[in-house]
């Protein structure tokens, strides 16, 4: 009888050990899943931050380039106006003289 009792106790302990191992495996699996999700979320946030930073830099560069082009265009326009101002006055004078004749 003692042997049967020992066998049953051993079986019960074995079942408890197996159940505990299952619980630990489930807990570890859940922890690893949560860690993967956290890493994935962190990577997603870093990606979004990098995209946002790149967009800001691109906008700043585009704004600077637009301002530079605008300034260059204004300079060219001023130069053209200066070059043609004398010619316009001369042409107006010629037309006025021609009308007077």
For residue 101, what is the DSSP state?
-
CA dist., res. 44 & res. 50, Å (int): 10
Among 19, 20, 23, 42, CA closest to 31:
23
C-alpha to C-alpha distances, 45 to 81, 84, 101, nearest whole angstrom: 53, 58, 81
pLDDT greater than 90 at residue 3: no
CA dist., res. 58 & res. 56, Å (int): 5
pLDDT greater than 90 at residue 23: yes
Q: What is the pLDDT of residues 40-99, one digit of tens each?
A: 999 999 999 999 999 999 999 999 999 999 999 999 999 988 888 878 878 778 888 888
- Residue 96 has what pLDDT? 81
* Cα angle: 64, vertex 46, 50; to 5 degrees: 15
- Residue 91 has what pLDDT? 79
């Amino acid at each position: 009888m003692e042997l049967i009792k020992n066998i049953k106790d051993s079986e019960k302990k074995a079942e408890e050990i197996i159940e505990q191992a299952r619980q630990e495996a489930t807990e570890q699996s859940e922890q690893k899943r949560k860690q993967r999700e956290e890493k994935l979320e962190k990577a997603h946030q870093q990606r979004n931050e990098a995209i946002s930073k790149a967009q800001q830099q691109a906008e700043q560069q585009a704004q600077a380039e637009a301002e530079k082009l605008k300034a260059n265009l204004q300079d060219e326009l001023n130069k053209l106006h200066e070059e043609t101002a004398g010619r316009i006055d001369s042409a107006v004078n010629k037309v006025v003289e021609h009308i007077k004749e």
